[in-house]
Amino acid sequence: MVNGDVITYTDLYDRMDLVIKSSRMPNTDEFKKRLMGQVLTGLITEQIQIQEANRLDINVADEEIERGFAELAGQNNLEAA
């Protein structure tokens, strides 16, 4: 729980899978154990940032989000969805 918002095990494992795939790191139990704490800390930080953005009524246009995804995909040699 982060200020009343839930981070589920599904959220954690999905993000770990994303990190492993995007970084081309080994998909082993040992690596996942080492990665779990860092990913959880990242999810908690992200949730706090989202809560603060909501509190400050900060919104991001869909176009800006799409540009960000396209840029990230390009950096990782992936196609944007």
- The pLDDT of residue 31 is 94
- The pLDDT of residue 72 is 84
Q: What is the pTM of this model?
A: 0.75
- The pLDDT of residue 79 is 67
- The pLDDT of residue 28 is 94
Question: What HEC string does 11-71 produce?
Answer: HHHHHHHHHHHHHCCCCCHHHHHHHHHHHHHHHHHHHHHHHHHHHCCCCCCHHHHHHHHHH
pLDDT tens digits, 15-64: 999 999 988 899 999 999 999 999 999 999 999 999 999 999 999 999 99
The residue-averaged pLDDT of 73-80 equals: 74
